[in-house]
Structure 1
Amino acid sequence: MGSDKLRTTEVDGVPVFWVPGQGTLRASLWFRAGMVDESLPTRGWLHLLEHLALHGRDSIRAPVNGHVSLLHSSFDVEGEPDEVVAFLREVCRWLTTPDLSELEHERRVLRAESATRGGGAVGSHLLWRYGARGPGLAGYDELGLYTADADRLRALAAWSYAQGNAVLALSGPPPAGLELPLRPGSHDLPLPARPCDQPIPAGFAGRPNAVALSGTVSRSYAAAALLRALERALQRGLRHDSGVGYSAWSSYELVDADHAMLTTGMDVIPEALPTVVAETTAVVRRLRDRGPEPAELRDDLDRQIRRFTTEPAANWLPFMAARDVLLGRRATTGTEELAAETDAVTVAAVQQAARSLWNDLLVSVDPVGSGDPQLTWLNAPPASKQVASGRRFRPVGSPVTTGALVIGRTAAHLQTTGGEAAAAYDEVAAMIAYPDGGRQLIRRDGYQVTIEPTLWRQGHDAVALVDSAVPRSLHVPLPERTPDLIPHISVTLKQRLRFWLNDPVALLAIAGVCAVALALTEGMGLTELLGRTLVGGAILGAIAYTRHRRSSQ
């Protein structure tokens, strides 16, 4: 296995990892810059830079690719050594001095790509776990495509693509003439992932006809074995035993240098929804309480060892080393070391990982699915830390339409028949701004307050107050909406009459007006006027009370 040992050298101050390999040369230039380093208003800037850097470089002889994950960015090429050298040299020059003449073109390309991309379960779990920051940004659209400008993109490139923040992985020896002309700069580790302050274990409404669960654990070979055990258990329980699902899936997503989010799930038939959450969480509880079956774990570990000892190390070992070294972790030196660490995984270690996952468990299920009494269901946003006091706006159609919008100096508060939501301005991660005046205040925990000026009297005044209160750096201007997406309230005369006729106070006022009019026409005395008013008011009040009781039953 001597040829499987990881080699290392340095080129222009950049660490280079490689293993002797055969065939065309593969190269990946990695940087420790990913989605977690963006903010909600800049979400997608690194993806945009990656596209711009690779614009026009792809060819049949030397195909290129790029990738932006939560923690890394990479620029990849495969070809003959001289083609790899030329690609790396030119990409490094671009990253050092970006040419942004194609900015508008690539912005449009990525917007078109975004329109075809649906939201996935992993992104949803990251969002519900971390909110609108750090790893949770993976659950959002690339809002930065609407905010990017040349100067700030260049500043981001200067930090992200620095010499100290880079590692090169090769599937063979470094070719002659290799150079990596990057600008000097430091290496920045990712910040620890900070979950939202919310009750755990918990559940939330997920994709139709599907169930998924996730939890964060310390990175380890035992955690990877746990994920495979979860996927097998779901496959066995929901497909082979119950026959309610087709194919289980799983995902191992690094969220910071030392932790990963494990996610697994399955699409299920509608008839299974009432019991699928209980069956899914039972899988986790069994692994938490007893761990995997020893024979099954042994078979799983042996299979993993066979897989990476038969696949050429040049295809994966340098690239795994680049990922880990950029996170401040020690690189695995060869297949023998990896085999020994995998072989050492025990039932107790997997059980301990299952306990950690349970203590951090999130479950998503089709909204019509039933809950689990051991889970807290996240149906409403937690209360804002600040109470809004300021200008109060009444809804269009008031008093038939109920609710209130309060725009204060420090927070906005919305109350409708659907519930309450508030956002302190210092909790806001971004504010979506539509040309028609619609606004969405997205809190850092992912919950939001939506303000539609068409729904409130003097609604554009409310929008102006919010615009002035939220820092300009958090404004995200989006294109015009089609008219059918702009909400409106229409209250008919019939609805207004029905409201007044069911309101005892309004009926008393009507009775009083009628009594005064009658008195004026008949020359009635004051005593008789008051008596008739009270009698009429009592009758109308009784009618209104009876109608109110019937409508509320």
Structure 2
Amino acid sequence: MQHDVIDGVPVLWSAAPGPLEAALVFGHGARDESFRTIGVTHLVEHLAMSTLPRLHHEHNASVSLNLTDFTVSGTDEQVADFLAAVCKALGALPVDRIEREAGVLAAEASGVTDPVTAELLSARYGTVGAGLVSWDGPGPDRIPVEAVRETVARSFHAGNAVLLLTGPPPPALRLPLPQGKRPERGDAQPVMSSGPHWLSANVPGPGLGLHADLDDAALTAAHAVLQERLRQVLRHQEGLSYDVDGARMHSGGGRGEFTVVVDARAGQQRRVAEILWREALRLASEGVTDAELSEEIAGFREAWLDPRATPAELGQAGACLLSDIPYEDAATRLAALAEVTPDSARQAFAAALATALLVVPEDVEVELAQLDGAPLTEGGCAHPRGGELPAGGKHFRPSMFDRLRFPEARTARLVLTGDAVWSRDGRGHVHHLPFADVVGMEVDGPGRVLFGRGNCLVPVVPELFAGIGEAVEAIDAGVPKALHYEPSAFADRDDACAPPPATKAPRG
């Protein structure tokens, strides 16, 4: 891998067959947003790409959890022209197009990752950083123009970029980006839920997340073995699933999530979740075999040493550079895997299993045990069923009409204290949201919906509680104005942040 610098931008390149491929990568992704500005990075990307003329060679742009990429493939001249145009656009974004591009984003409706992984990240990290990826936020048409300008100024400059090339830099290549200093991202993101827990969410199938050091070679090997065991059992033996997918998601400082996501045949989600957990326990207790370990290491060797893996290897090196993480090449990673033994793989996986989060679809409940036989408890933002509301404060109840019609409404309560709101939903779960933990508040006529950093949502709306005017006044005064927003014009009100019926409980 060769190193250069062009106009203050580090350049990493390695020769590979085929046309020249380039990726201009910035160290800013979805985890760098706030709840109030969810989607701002995607909007920046769209605004920049909207300035380009029609092109007939391959090009694209995308936003991931940690990065934003502008990619192109073609001749030296095509690559140089594309990159120069992107840099020029980032230096003078057409903010007059924000309204139109917000509409395009609403139509695209794309996510940073699959919904199961998104829910695992949200359960782990809350409604901040990596946990934002499971939330829609206020909507693309509610992103302030000031947030667009601030994002570009903070992150889209030469000091926070790297250029990756599958060949020598074209002689005419220029990268006319503003200069700047790489923003501080800090260490690994603090976790809101350490596990082990199971939780239900609006997901199509089960998934497992483990919080650990992503460079742990023993855990990397065990993670691969678990995926293959699940394929054999769920697909080839039971016929319950088609796909088993594993990933490693960085949340900062070299740490993050090892995830396993499994699809499930209709009506078999609980059975698939039980097998997923059973196989995880078996690996943690019994370990892996020499044959399994050798097979997975052979797979890594084949993938990492394939000449077609050059763009991916460059991408890994670039991501490490932008995150200030030491880069290890394929030979170094393979040498670490060669030191892994079946017992070290078992020990690494057993340690990581203590952080496990198991997510299942909303209509699925599971009764599972941990390695020591203790129950695997249900997690979420709420306190345990039957939690206590504060004795003081101002209490609000559903209307008499709702209490007569819906049994759940008879237990529902909203309590306003000096610096927080409390609620007890129809299932008996108690939610506590201090004003200091609010990350966003939807203002919809006489109602409010508060979103907290701990993954909690509390609706304060007349459809659920009677006589809430006093509560709304106090909440408006207690939550900073910068966090207030009106519902998105693009939102389907049946699925938006509007309160659910009294028979339903808020998320958490």
Q: TM-score, normalised by structure 2?
A: 0.86
Aligned 1:259-298 pairs, distance under 5 A: 259-269=255-265, 272=268, 275-298=271-294
Aligned 1:151-550 pairs, distance under 5 A: 151-198=146-193, 200-206=195-201, 210-220=205-215, 221-269=217-265, 272=268, 275-312=271-308, 314-333=310-329, 335-366=330-361, 367-374=363-370, 375-378=376-379, 381-382=382-383, 387=390, 389-397=392-400, 400=404, 402=410, 403-419=412-428, 420-434=430-444, 436-479=445-488
- Per the TM alignment, residue 108 of structure 1 is displaced from its structure 2 partner at its CA by 0.6
The answer (yes or no) to whether the contact 1:89–1:180 under 8 Å persists in 2 is yes
Q: Which has the higher Rg, Structure 1 or Structure 2? A: 1
CA distance, structure 1, for counterparts of residue 161 and residue 113 of structure 2: 31
- Per the TM alignment, residue 83 of structure 1 is displaced from its structure 2 partner at its CA by 1.5
SS of the equivalent of 1:467 reads helix
Alignment counterpart, residue 72 of structure 2, candidates 60, 77, 90: 77
Q: Give 1:30's aligned amino acid.
A: V
TM-superposition CA deviations, 1:406-433 (whole Å, max 9, x none): 3333111223543232311011121122
Residues 1:342 and 1:56: Cα distance change in structure 2 (over 3 Å): farther
CA distance, structure 1, for counterparts of residue 227 and residue 157 of structure 2: 39
Between Structure 1 and Structure 2, which shows a larger proportion of helix residues? Answer: 1
- Per the TM alignment, residue 99 of structure 1 is displaced from its structure 2 partner at its CA by 2.3
Residues 1:274 and 1:24: Cα distance change in structure 2 (over 3 Å): closer
Across the aligned residues of Structure 1 and Structure 2, the Cα RMSD in angstroms comes to 3.0
Aligned residue pairs: how many? 483
Larger mean CA deviation between 290-299 and 382-391 belongs to: 382-391
CA distance, structure 1, for counterparts of residue 250 and residue 233 of structure 2: 27
- Per the TM alignment, residue 266 of structure 1 is displaced from its structure 2 partner at its CA by 2.1
Q: Give 1:449's aligned amino acid.
A: V
SS of the equivalent of 2:164 reads strand
CA distance, structure 2, for counterparts of residue 483 and residue 40 of structure 1: 19
The answer (yes or no) to whether the contact 1:19–1:313 under 8 Å persists in 2 is no
Q: Give 2:358's aligned amino acid.
A: V
The answer (yes or no) to whether the contact 1:167–1:322 under 8 Å persists in 2 is yes
User: Would you say 1:99 and 2:94 are equivalent positions?
Assistant: yes
SS of the equivalent of 1:268 reads coil
SS of the equivalent of 1:377 reads coil
Larger mean CA deviation between 120-129 and 449-458 belongs to: 449-458
- Per the TM alignment, residue 161 of structure 1 is displaced from its structure 2 partner at its CA by 1.1
CA distance, structure 2, for counterparts of residue 178 and residue 200 of structure 1: 49
The answer (yes or no) to whether the contact 2:241–2:262 under 8 Å persists in 1 is yes
CA distance, structure 2, for counterparts of residue 105 and residue 240 of structure 1: 48
User: Would you say 1:28 and 2:23 are equivalent positions?
Assistant: yes
Specify every segment of 5 or more residues in structure 1 that has no aligned partner in the other structure, as ranges.
Answer: 1-5, 491-553
Q: TM-score, normalised by structure 1?
A: 0.79
Q: Which residue of 2 aligns with 1:547?
A: none
TM-superposition CA deviations, 1:128-155 (whole Å, max 9, x none): 1111011100111143524323233112
Residues 1:22 and 1:248: Cα distance change in structure 2 (over 3 Å): closer
The answer (yes or no) to whether the contact 1:27–1:170 under 8 Å persists in 2 is yes
Q: Which residue of 1 aligns with 2:506?
A: none
- Per the TM alignment, residue 112 of structure 1 is displaced from its structure 2 partner at its CA by 1.6
- Per the TM alignment, residue 239 of structure 1 is displaced from its structure 2 partner at its CA by 2.6
Identity percentage of aligned residues: 27
The answer (yes or no) to whether the contact 1:211–1:363 under 8 Å persists in 2 is yes
CA distance, structure 2, for counterparts of residue 34 and residue 329 of structure 1: 16
